[in-house]
Amino acid sequence: MHFFAYHGVLEHETIQGNNFSVTLRFSADLSEACTSDDVVDTVNYAEVYELVKEEMSIPSKLIENAAYRILRKVKEAFPQINLIEVALSKMNPPVSGQMEQSTVIISE
């Protein structure tokens, strides 16, 4: 998932914003969806996207904080998830050299 958001410690990051990438991986019992063929029995990725979008719109100083909020929100909405990993990347972070991205990975 890709978002433009205002996460960062530096003042200009909270004003100018930056591009971010979010990747979610999870494990869940989806056996019901396998036989029912009904979206209500699975982890609906459209709903997951909206949850992530909502959390990305709330500025954080640290991407660790934003990643953890995403993890908690998705687990809360989909209790069938038993393991989740959130990777949140800030593209072109403000450093004194060239860096493509800075990524944190949080799992639970």
Tell me if 85 sits within 8 A of 27, measured CB to CB: no
Among 53, 73, 75, 90, the one annotated catalytic:
90
Query: What was the pLDDT predicted at 82?
Result: 96
What's the pLDDT tens digit per position in 11-50? 999 999 999 999 999 999 999 999 999 999 999 999 999 9
**Quick count: other Cβ atoms within 10 Å of Cβ 11?**
8
Tell me whether residue 90 is one of the annotated catalytic residues: yes
This prediction's pTM: 0.94
Q: In what order do the strands lie in the sheet with 101-107?
A: 2-5, 18-28, 81-91, 101-107
What's the pLDDT tens digit per position in 64-104? 999 999 999 999 999 999 999 999 999 999 999 999 999 99
The domain tally of the chain equals: 1
CATH assignment of the domain containing 32? 3.30.1130.10
